[in-house]
Amino acid sequence: MLQEFNHLMDYIETHLTEDISGKEISKIVGLSDYHFKRMFSYMAGMSLSEYIKNRRLSVANVELINGAKVTDIAYKYGYQSIEGFSRAFREWSGFLPSEVAKNKIQKSFPKFSFYIDIRGGKSMEFKIEKKEKFNIVGVSKKVPIQFEGENKAILELAQSISDQQKKEMHQLADLYPHRVLNVSYDFDDGYLEEKGSLTHMIGFATTKENPFDHLEQITIEESLWAIFPNQGPFPTTLQETTAKIYSEWLPSSDYKLVELPGISFTEYNSTSENVYCEIWIAVKKKS
């Protein structure tokens, strides 16, 4: 995985003046839009679009110092107007392009390289488990993609579930963990867009087919699953574990992601200070 990420950094570097295709990026890294964006964000500490913008402005800075015209640079790096370029450049560097050209002010943003930094620390608990094909029945909604904090749209979905729907879901639930699952799938395409959405389902795992009109069903194909239990303050521990999965465990593991929904569940109790959660991601052995 690190090799693919570094290959992508090389690709971006040679295509800074072009539209960078999400299709080409997907081909290089071998991941879906959502999984890649998530891994990159956790590993790099910024979105891919922010990284590309910073690299373009950094190279533009050098060219301005070397005498390039502001107009030429603005259009070269994809800006529709000099004003738009000047605004973005000032937000990034603190100076207008004309000031940089005149006073030879240098600000840089280096190309990223990815590697494993092995440090002493907390080990990650996980298990690999094969699960036969199963169904999830529940209710779903298209919600904004959000990696941190509580997603209000998901909270609204949970609050919208009627007593009758809850009763019907419980009637069908016959698989571990016999409790509410949060399931995410159907992620929007578009690597370079900051805004996107996914379908989020709240439901239960079951071997049965859904007979109820007010519930939906998705089928999860047979797969290996990497399961990460975690316990502590909620939602901080859950979010930190998710970050470690994508930034530390996946790049250094013998597994790669499979395009199946992401699943998690939480055992709520009277306090949010010591909550048990599990995160499930579908994986397969690297060839």
Q: Average pLDDT for residues 138-145, to the nearest whole number?
A: 92
- Would you say residue 195 has pLDDT above 90? no
Question: What's the rounded mean pLDDT across residues 75-87?
Answer: 95
Compute the average pLDDT of residues 187-212.
80
pLDDT of residue 120: 47
Quick one: pLDDT band at residue 122, thresholds 50, 70, 90? low
Q: Which helix (H) or strand (E) holds 90?
A: helix 82-93
Q: What integer pLDDT is reported at residue 91 of this predicted model?
A: 95
Average pLDDT value over all residues in the chain? 89
pLDDT at 30 over 70: yes
For residue 279, report the phi and psi dihedrals to the nearest 5 degrees.
-120, 125
Rounded mean pLDDT of 70-94? 95
Q: In whole angstroms, give the CA distance from residue 18 to residue 204.
A: 46
- Calpha distance 121→106 (Å, rounded): 38
Average pLDDT for residues 16-35, to the nearest whole number? Answer: 84
pLDDT, residue 206, reads 98
The continuous run of DSSP H or E covering 137 comes out as: strand 134-144
Between 128 and 36, whose confidence is greater?
A: 128
Domains located in the chain, CATH noted:
2-103 (1.10.10.60), 127-285 (3.20.80.10)
pLDDT in tens, 47-57: 888 999 999 99
Under 8 Å between Cβ of 204 and 138: yes
Residue 185 has pLDDT above 60, yes or no: yes
Crossing angle for the helix pair 48-65 and 33-44, to the nearest 10 degrees: 60
Compute how many other C-beta atoms are within 10 angstroms of the C-beta atom of residue 14.
Answer: 8
Q: How far apart are CA 197 and CA 179, in angstroms?
A: 25
Coil/strand/helix, residue 107: coil
**Distance from C-alpha of 125 to C-alpha of 122, rounded to nearest angstrom:** 9
Give whole-number Cα distances, 175 to 82, 132, 206, 209, 279, in Å: 59, 11, 5, 13, 16
The first and second tokens of residue 191, run together, are 């690597």
CB 113 within 8 A of CB 9: yes
pLDDT digits (tens, 9 = 90+) for 99-117: 999 999 889 999 998 876 6
The pair phi, psi for residue 273, each rounded to 5°, is -85, -15
pLDDT, tens digit (0-9, with 9 covering 90-100), for 203-256: 999 999 999 999 999 999 999 999 999 999 888 888 889 888 988 888 888 898
Please state, in angstroms and rounded to a whole number, the distance separating the CA atoms of residues 170 and 54. Answer: 50
3-state SS class at 274: coil
Going by pLDDT thresholds of 50, 70 and 90, the confidence category of residue 196 is confident
pLDDT in the model for residue 287: 78
pLDDT for position 191: 40
Question: Residue 8 above 90 pLDDT?
Answer: yes
Average pLDDT over residues 85-92: 95
